[in-house]
């Protein structure tokens, strides 16, 4: 089979960009926590790169993309990448090696559980997190990924998710909320971000990587690739400015962290819709993301939920409203391979998107809570108050970010 070098080169670049998002997330989260807990939160992102890759090679890819068992999960026919060689082609439409698709999808699997860690920062033992990471991938990420992208029940039903509104953001955000409820509040209060420049560096890497995340999800180079690229930037920018304006008007000062958080909210929200909506719609989606995610974070603060780094408010809420917006704004005039949303007469499609994202979110929430309860029987999930007081870097890892 003759591979298309343009598509193959582009997809290798997109894969590299998505890989860079996980270190970007580590910097983003690392800057937001206090000085005594920087390495702990960063390590939780980086260790996913190792553990998830091993799991992906052993069973992950096969469970997501090989065969179909009851519409819920794949089979083990491609465990250890059985039957894959360098000449195996992914599909005749884009002519990229299957190896490239396997690597690209692996990067999505790596960042998704890492997103959750921002919610329970400064409170969870590393050993408990490792068990959580593996079980969550096996029982939440792999089945949802198969159902939406791997030929499972939701894909057959006609549910669309361009780059991971359901598969990545909604389920990670709801798992984050479940972990906040299970683990409880921090005993030691932090004074806020210890390094806003680190947060800015992380946001820059995430934003940069997101082009691989969204534009790469077309899996080839064409007009939709360019549309998804532009829509990603437009939504992020409109959301960032919207968040900045709201916070400025309420607090009388323009806050840098608010601008950065708004950008990430916009990026998460446009993800499911990037290749299915017009750029005008992407701007509207960005504005809505800025408003709704800001309100979600305000509500969380008002209710006293200790989602330390606003994973639920930004990713959970952003991913969910993004999928619902896709159900409203999608149009085949933009992407013939997409669908018509509510505004183009597709009320059934709108209903499918809404039901799919709510069902997947509910499952992720319930299973994550249940799993933490089980893990807690094996090893304590939460650190002691003394360890929390000392700081997790020193008490758990015997290392310090700053001397």
As a three-state string, the secondary structure of the chain is CCCCHHHHHHHHHHHHHHHHHHHHHHHHHHHHCCHHHHHHHHHHHHHHHHHHHHHHHHHHHHHHHCCCECCCECCCCCHHHCCCCCCCECCCCCCCEHHHHHHHHHHHHHHHHHHHCCCCCCCECHHHHHHHHHHHHHHHHHHHHHHHHCCCHHHHHCCCCCCCHHHHHHHHHHHHHHHHHHHCCCCCCCCCCCCHHHHHHHHHHHHHHHHHHHHHHHCCCCHHHHHHHHHHHHHHHHHHHHHHHHHHHHHCCCCHHHHHHHHHHHHHHHCCCCCCCCHHHHHHHHHHHHHHHHHHHHHHHHHCCCCCCCHHHHHHHHHHHHHHHHHHHCCCCCCCCCCCCHHHCCHHHHHHHHHHHHHHHHHHHHHHHHHHHHHHHHCCCECCHHHHHHCHHHHHHCCCCCC
Class of domain 5-397: mainly alpha
pLDDT tens for each residue of 116-140? 998 888 889 999 999 999 999 999 9
Amino acid 51: pLDDT: 98
pLDDT band per the 50, 70, 90 thresholds, residue 1? low
The more confident residue out of 94 and 49 is 49
pLDDT of 331 > 70? The answer is yes
- Encode pLDDT of 204-219 as tens digits: 999 999 999 999 999 9
The model's pLDDT over 62-90, given as tens digits with 9 standing for 90+, comes to: 999 999 999 999 999 999 999 999 999 99
Q: What is the mean pLDDT of residues 258-278?
A: 97
* pLDDT for 24 beyond 80: yes
Q: What is the pLDDT of residues 161-184, one digit of tens each?
A: 999 999 999 999 999 999 999 988
């Amino acid at each position: 089979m003759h591979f298309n070098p343009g598509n193959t080169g582009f997809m290798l670049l997109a894969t590299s960009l998505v890989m860079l998002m996980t270190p970007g997330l580590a910097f983003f989260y690392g800057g937001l926590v206090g000085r005594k807990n920087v390495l702990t939160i960063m390590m939780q992102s980086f260790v996913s790169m190792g553990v998830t890759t091993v799991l992906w090679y052993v069973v992950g890819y096969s469970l997501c993309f090989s065969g179909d068992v009851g519409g819920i999960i794949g089979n083990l026919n491609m465990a250890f990448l059985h039957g894959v060689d360098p000449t195996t082609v992914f599909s005749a439409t884009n002519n990229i090696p299957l190896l490239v698709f396997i690597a690209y999808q692996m990067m999505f699997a790596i960042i998704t559980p890492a997103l959750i860690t921002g919610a329970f920062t400064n409170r969870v033992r590393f050993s408990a997190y490792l068990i959580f990471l593996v079980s969550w991938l096996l029982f939440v990420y792999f089945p949802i990924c198969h159902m939406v992208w791997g030929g499972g029940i939701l894909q057959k039903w006609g549910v669309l998710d361009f780059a991971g509104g359901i598969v990545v953001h909604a389920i990670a955000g709801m798992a984050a909320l479940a972990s906040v409820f299970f683990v409880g509040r921090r005993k030691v209060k932090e004074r806020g971000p210890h390094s806003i420049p680190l947060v800015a560096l992380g946001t820059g890497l995430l934003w940069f990587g997101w082009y691989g995340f969204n534009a790469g999800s077309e899996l080839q180079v064409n007009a939709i690739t360019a549309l998804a690229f532009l829509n990603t930037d437009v939504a992020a920018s409109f959301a960032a400015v919207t968040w900045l304006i709201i916070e400025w008007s309420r607090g009388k000062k323009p806050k840098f962290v608010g601008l950065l958080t708004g950008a990430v909210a916009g990026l998460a929200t446009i993800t499911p819709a990037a290749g299915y909506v017009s750029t005008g719609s992407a701007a509207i989606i960005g504005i809505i993301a800025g408003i709704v995610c800001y309100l979600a974070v305000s509500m969380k603060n008002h209710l006293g939920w200790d989602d330390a780094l606003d994973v639920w408010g930004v990713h959970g809420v952003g991913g969910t409203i993004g999928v619902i917006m896709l159900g409203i704004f999608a149009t085949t005039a933009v992407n013939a391979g997409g669908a018509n949303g509510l505004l183009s007469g597709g009320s059934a499609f709108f209903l499918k998107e809404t039901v799919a994202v709510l069902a997947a979110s509910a499952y992720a929430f319930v299973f994550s809570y249940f799993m933490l309860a089980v893990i807690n029987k094996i090893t304590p999930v939460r650190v002691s108050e003394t360890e929390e007081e000392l700081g997790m870097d020193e008490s758990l890892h015997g290392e310090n970010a700053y001397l």
